[in-house]
Structures are given as C-alpha cells and as structure tokens.
C-alpha cells in the first residue's frame, strides 16, 4: 500500500529512482521499496495522462480503481495528486 510517508520519500528524490538508490538512508529504503517506487511512478505517470486529457474514460476508470486499491487514505491520495502537479 502507498502511504503518505512513501509519497514524501518519493517527492524528496523528485521521482529520481537512481538518486533514491544511491542516497536514501537505510530507514527510507526500509519504508519505500523498489516495488513501491515503481507503483508510485506508474500511478503518477498515468494520473498525469488522465489530467492532461490524453487517456480514455475507461483508462481513467481503471486508474481510479487501481489507486483506490493501492492508497491507504484520502490524505495520501491528495499528496499523490499534488506530486503529479509538482512533477509536471
């Protein structure tokens, strides 16, 4: 599950997985795994496509379903949306 803490670590490294792999502390790597990173990356990219109007309605519905299954709470969802806007 994607938590607010995981989104904060992802944001700290501005979506740069190489920077995270080289410079994240052991505690940050214990919280946010490579699989978590890829999940956030995928959701952020897909969410950006939906926001830009570049995705079909069905694609957007599938994304929202995936997000609902992956995010711990509304606060984390809001942080993900903010992250997408920040990285755009």
Q: What domain count does the chain have?
A: 1
pLDDT in tens, 28-82: 999 999 999 999 999 999 988 998 999 999 999 999 999 989 999 999 999 988 9
Cα 22 to chain centroid distance, Å, stands at 19
What pLDDT is attached to residue 41?
94
What pLDDT is attached to residue 1?
93
Please tell me the pTM assigned to this model: 0.89
What pLDDT is attached to residue 85?
84
37 Cβ contact partners less than 8 Å away, ≥ 6 residues apart: 10, 17, 20
Q: Which domain holds residue 74?
A: 4-87
Please check the confidence at residue 88 and state whether its pLDDT lies above 80: no
């Amino acid at each position: 599950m994607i938590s607010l803490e995981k989104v904060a670590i992802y944001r700290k490294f501005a979506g740069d997985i190489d920077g995270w792999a080289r410079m994240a502390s052991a505690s940050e790597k214990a919280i946010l795994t490579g699989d978590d990173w890829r999940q956030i990356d995928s959701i952020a990219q897909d969410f950006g496509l939906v926001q830009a109007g570049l995705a079909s309605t069905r694609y957007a519905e599938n994304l929202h379903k995936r997000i609902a299954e992956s995010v711990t709470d509304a606060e984390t969802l809001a942080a993900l949306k903010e992250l997408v806007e920040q990285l755009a």
